[in-house]
């Protein structure tokens, strides 16, 4: 019997997350280092913080999604649909099963 599409998706996303986790972690760490430097340099202005906030959120979202896909997403058993049923509009976890291949918006 061929592999179910939801299981193939789970396996592919898990493999991608595993392959990208170190680089995603490094990007987040680098962005947080930027924040530390900004504090050390006197705090910067609001434009610098707004721009950095977008970067931090993007990198944190990618790291959270990779962590979920690699360590927390249970393997589907194919007896029922594999859905994130607890998600509601506005939930920051929406998208945690999306591929970890694109860079965050900066």
pTM of the entire structure? 0.82
pLDDT at 106: 47
Taking only the tens place, the pLDDT of each residue in 36-85 is: 999 898 888 999 999 999 999 999 999 999 999 999 999 998 888 888 77
Residue-level pLDDT at 98? 82
> Which residue ranges make up each domain of the chain?
5-72
Burial state string for 71-98 with b = 16 or more CB within 10 A and e = fewer than 16: eebeebeeeeebeeeeeeeeeeeeebbe
Residues contacting residue 52 through CB under 8 Å, at least 6 positions apart: 31, 34, 35, 38
pLDDT of residue 1: 66
Say which residue, 94 or 54, is predicted with more confidence. 54
């Amino acid at each position: 019997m061929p592999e179910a599409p939801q299981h193939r998706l789970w396996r592919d996303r898990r493999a991608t997350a595993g392959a990208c986790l170190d680089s995603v972690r490094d990007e987040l760490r680098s962005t947080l280092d930027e924040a530390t430097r900004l504090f050390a340099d006197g705090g910067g202005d609001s434009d610098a913080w707004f721009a950095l906030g977008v970067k931090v959120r993007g990198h944190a979202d990618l790291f959270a999604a990779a962590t979920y896909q690699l360590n927390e997403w249970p393997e589907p058993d194919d007896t029922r649909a594999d859905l994130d049923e607890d998600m509601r509009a506005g939930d920051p976890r929406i998208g945690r099963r999306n591929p970890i291949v694109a860079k965050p918006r900066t």
